[in-house]
Structure 1
Amino acid sequence: MLIDRTEVIVSSPGRNFVTLKITTDDGVVGWGDATLNGRELAVASYLRDHVAPLLPGRDAHRIEDTWQYLYRGGYWRRGPVAMAAIASVDTALWDIKAKVAGLPLYQLLGGASRERCLVYGHASGQELPELFDSIREHLELGFRAIRVQTGVPGFASVYGVASSAASGGAGRYDYEPARRSARPAEETWDTRAYLRHVPSVFEAVRGEFGPDLALLHDAHHRLTPIQAAKLGRSLEPYDLFWLEDVTPAENQQALRLVRQHTTTPLAIGEVFNTVWDYQTLISEQLIDYVRSPITHGGGITGVRRILDYAAMYQVKSGMHGPTDVSPVGLAAAAHLGLAIHNFGIQEYMLHSEQTTAVFGLPVEFTEGGIRPLEEPGLGMHVDENLAAKYEYEPAYLPTNRLLDGTVHDW
C-alpha cells in the first residue's frame, strides 16, 4: 500500500490549526496534527515544500523507516518545526495502519492498560472568588484534577488567567493566552510578587475544596533554579500533583538544585521535541512527568520512544494538550495514553464549538478521564469543506517583560 498524495490544511475554526491528510493509492486516509502555536505557517511551509514531496510512492506501512528517513535524512535535526512536521506524518501513517487493520489505534500499540486516561482541566481567576467559581465549574463538568492559575496583585494580565482584565475577556481565543494580532502582546512580570502570592492561593484552594482534589500549577519557565526550589518548597504543604515548568530546562543540570530542595513533583518538557532533550532529566530522575505532546514530539513513534525511556526510571507521561493541540493530536494522545504502562495524566481542554464542528470529538470524557473512540484508526472525521471556510488569522502568544523592561522567560 503506497502513499498516493498529501494535503496540508491550514484553517482557523476558533484558532489556527495545521492538519496533514495522507491518502494511499487504495483510498485510505490518515490524519496528523502539525499545529505549532504562533508559528503555524512555518510548519505548513516545511510540510508542503520539503516533506510532502518526499512521500508519494513510499510504503505507507513502513512507519519507522519513514520516521528515520525524515529525521535522519533531513540532516538538520530536531527543533519544533521539523518535529511537528514529522509528527503529523507519523500520526497519519499510524491512523492508516490501524484503519487497514480494522482496529482502534491503541490496539496496535499493545492494547489498553487502563479503562480511561485521567485528565486535568484549567481553572483560573484574577482573584480568589473568580478562581473558586472556575474550579467549581470544572468539578461540575466531572474533572478530578485541576490546574490552578491566578492573577498576581498589581498586574492586570497574567499568563494562564483566561479572564485577565487587560484583555477584558476579549482578544484571547479558546481560553488560551494567544491573541489574534499582528504582533505579540507584551505582559509585565515580577517574580518576587508571584512567589509571595502563589502559596496563599493554594492555601485558600485547599481550605475551600479539601485535600482530595488533585491540584497542578504551571510556573511557565519564569523562575531561576533557586526561585523554583523556593516555590516548590513553599507549596509542599498543599500536596500538588505537580509543579510544571519551574525553570527553563534547556539547562538540565539546573533541575538538580531544584530537586535538592523540594519534594513537590516536577513536570517538564512541553517545549521539548525528542528523547535526547530529556537524557539528564530522566536518567537522574530530576523530574516526575514528561510533557512533550505527540504533535510536537515526533508523533506516536517519537513520544513512545521518550516514554519507554522514561519508564525505566519510573517517570510518567503528562502530555501537553491544551486547545493549541488539535482534536487530531488529542486523539493520538488518548490512544497512546491508554496503551502505555507509565501513563500519568493528560492535559485536556474543551475545544470551541467551531473546532469541534470541523474535527468532531474523538474522545469520550467520563469519570474524570478520556478514552478514544472504538473506531478503526484515530476515530477522526474531519469536515474539510467546513475547515476551508475558516481562513488563517495571525495570532501570537504574549511576550514577557520585567518591571524594568527586560525581556523575560515565559
Structure 2
Amino acid sequence: MKITDVKIIVTAPGRNFVTVKIFTDQGLTGIGDATLNGREKAVVAYLEDHLVPILIGRDASRIEDIWQYFYKGAYWRRGPVTMAAIGGIDTALWDIKAKAAGMPLYQLLGGASREKMLCYVHAQGGEIAEAVDNVAKWMDKGYRAVRAQVGIPGLPAVYGTDNSTTNTADRNNLPQEETWSTAKYMRHVPMLFEALRDQLGFDVELLHDVHHRLTPIEAARLGKDLEPYRLFWLEDAVAAEHQEGFRLIRNHTTTPLAVGEVFNTIWDARLLIEEQLIDYIRMTTVHAGGVTPMRRIMDLAGIHNVRTACHGAMDMSPACFAANLHLGLWAPNFGIQEYSPYLPETLAVFPGAWTVADGHLHPGDAPGHGVDIDETLAAKYPYERSYLPVNRLEDGTLWHW
C-alpha cells in the first residue's frame, strides 16, 4: 500500500490546528495531528519542506521503519517541532493501518484493558467560593475528578483562573504578559483545597496544576501543605528542565506527582520513570512523536509503577485526543485522561467517534482512530497568528509560564 499524496491542512475553528492527511493507492486515507500551539507554522514548514517529499511512494504499512527514518535519519533529533511533525505522520499511518484491518486502533494495539476511562475536567474561579461552586457543577454532571485552580489575591487573572478558551494576545497581536508571585500563590492555594474538602467532601478526586512555576524546595513545601486534602496529583510542580529536582520533592511529600505535557521523547521522561520520581506521565501523542513512541513510553512507565495521564487540552486537535483515548483504553497502566471539552466549531471540522458519559471516555469502535476532517469546513477557518502568554514576576523578571 503506497503513499500517493500528503496534505498539510491548517485550520482555526476556535484555535489553530495542523493536520497531516495521508492518501494511499488503495483509497484509504488517515489523519494525524501535528499541532504545536503558538508555533504551528514552524511544524508546517518542517513537514512540507523536509518530510513530505521523502514520504511519497513509501509503503504505508511500514510504520516503524518510517518513524525510525524520520527520527534517526535527521541527525538533529528531538525537539517539539520535529516530534510534532513526525507525530502527525505516525498517527495518520496508524489510522490507515487500523482502517485496513477493519478495526478500531485500540484493537490493533492489543485490545481493551478496561471498559471505559476515567477523565478529569477543569474548574476555576477568581475567588475560592467561585472555584468551589464550579467544581460542584462538574460533580453534578457526573464527573468524579476535577482540576481546581483559583485566582491569587493581589494578582491579576493568571493561567487557569479565567474562562479563556484560546491563545491570548494583546491589541498588537503579541504575547499577553501575566504577573506572578510565588509567595502569594503558596499562601493561598492550600485555602482553596481546605474549602473544597470542607464543602464537597472526599468523594471527588481533586487535581491541581502548578504550571512549572516553583523551585523544587517550594514544590516540596506545597506538596506537604496539601497532604491533608488528599490530592489525586500535583501537576508540573517545577520547570521540566529540573528533573533531578523531583528527587527533593519526592523526599518531602507523599502528594502524587504528574509531569510530561511538554516532553518530546522517552529520554525526557526516562530518569523520572526509572527512579519512580513521578506517579503519572502526561506525555501526549502529538508532542511525543506519534502512537509508535507513546506505546514504548507507556510500557516503560508500567514497568516502574507509573500510570498514564495523557495531556488532553484544546491545544491539540480531536485527532490527537482520539489517539490518546485508544492508547489509554489499551494501556494496562492507564491512570486518567484529561478532558477539556472542544468548541462546537472544532468538533464540526473534526467529526469523531469518541464519547463521554458519567465522567468516563471511550474512543468508539469505528475503524482507525475514529476522527476525520471536513476539509471544506476547515477552509472556512483560516489560520490566525496567536501566542501563549508570557509570565513575569512582580519585579519584572521573566518567569516560567
Q: TM-score range by the shorter chain?
A: over 0.9
Report the Cα distance in structure 2 between the residues aligned to 1:32 and 1:333, rounded to whole angstroms. Answer: 12
Query: Which of the numbers 320, 332, 336 marks the counterpart of 2:323?
Result: 332
Q: 1:367 corresponds to which letter in structure 2?
A: D
Report the Cα distance in structure 2 between the residues aligned to 1:387 and 1:137, rounded to whole angstroms. Answer: 33
Match of 1:29 in 2: 29
Higher mean alpha-carbon deviation, 128-137 vs 336-345, is at: 128-137
Match of 1:292 in 2: 283
Query: Which of the numbers 257, 260, 268 marks the counterpart of 2:259?
Result: 268
Q: 1:40 corresponds to which letter in structure 2?
A: E
Contact kept in structure 1, 2:353 and 2:366, CA below 8 Å: no
Match of 1:226 in 2: 217
Contact kept in structure 2, 1:160 and 1:176, CA below 8 Å: no
Q: How does 1:133-152 map to 2 (within 5 A)?
A: 133-152=133-152
Give me the TM-score of the superposition, normalised by structure 2.
0.98
**Residue 299 of structure 2 corresponds to residue 308 of structure 1:** yes
**Residue 226 of structure 2 corresponds to residue 240 of structure 1:** no
Q: Which digits, 9 at most, give the CA deviation of each residue in 1:263-282, with x for residues without a partner? A: 00000111101111112111
**Residue 148 of structure 2 corresponds to residue 153 of structure 1:** no
Match of 1:6 in 2: 6
SS in structure 2 opposite 1:215? strand
Question: For structure 1, which runs of at least 5 residues remain unmatched after alignment?
Answer: 164-171
Report the Cα distance in structure 2 between the residues aligned to 1:215 and 1:224, rounded to whole angstroms. Answer: 22
Q: 2:174 corresponds to which letter in structure 1?
A: R
Identity percentage over the alignment? 57
Contact kept in structure 2, 1:162 and 1:176, CA below 8 Å: no
Q: How much has 1:381 moved relative to structure 2?
A: 2.8
Report the Cα distance in structure 1 between the residues aligned to 2:257 and 2:18, rounded to whole angstroms. Answer: 30
Q: How does 1:188-203 map to 2 (within 5 A)?
A: 188-203=179-194
Contact kept in structure 2, 1:117 and 1:337, CA below 8 Å: yes
Match of 1:378 in 2: 369
Q: How much has 1:89 moved relative to structure 2?
A: 0.6
Change (3 A) 1:81 1:70: same
Report the Cα distance in structure 2 between the residues aligned to 1:177 and 1:159, rounded to whole angstroms. Answer: 11
Report the Cα distance in structure 1 between the residues aligned to 2:142 and 2:343, rounded to whole angstroms. Answer: 18
**Residue 79 of structure 2 corresponds to residue 97 of structure 1:** no
Match of 1:353 in 2: 344
Change (3 A) 1:41 1:141: farther
Report the Cα distance in structure 1 between the residues aligned to 2:122 and 2:199, rounded to whole angstroms. Answer: 17
Contact kept in structure 2, 1:159 and 1:177, CA below 8 Å: no
Match of 1:65 in 2: 65
Report the Cα distance in structure 2 between the residues aligned to 1:377 and 1:272, rounded to whole angstroms. Answer: 26
Contact kept in structure 2, 1:318 and 1:343, CA below 8 Å: yes
Computed over aligned residues only, the root mean square deviation of the Cα atoms, in angstroms, reads: 1.1
SS in structure 1 opposite 2:285? coil
SS in structure 2 opposite 1:273? coil
Q: 1:348 corresponds to which letter in structure 2?
A: Y
Q: 1:345 corresponds to which letter in structure 2?
A: I
Match of 1:169 in 2: none
Q: How much has 1:133 moved relative to structure 2?
A: 2.8
Match of 1:389 in 2: 380
SS in structure 2 opposite 1:201? helix
Report the Cα distance in structure 2 between the residues aligned to 1:211 and 1:178, rounded to whole angstroms. Answer: 35
Aligned length: 400
Q: How much has 1:142 moved relative to structure 2?
A: 2.4
Question: For structure 2, which runs of at least 5 residues remain unmatched after alignment?
Answer: none
Report the Cα distance in structure 2 between the residues aligned to 1:146 and 1:368, rounded to whole angstroms. Answer: 10
SS in structure 1 opposite 2:187? helix
Report the Cα distance in structure 2 between the residues aligned to 1:179 and 1:383, rounded to whole angstroms. Answer: 28
Higher mean alpha-carbon deviation, 246-255 vs 188-197, is at: 246-255
Match of 2:79 in 1: 79
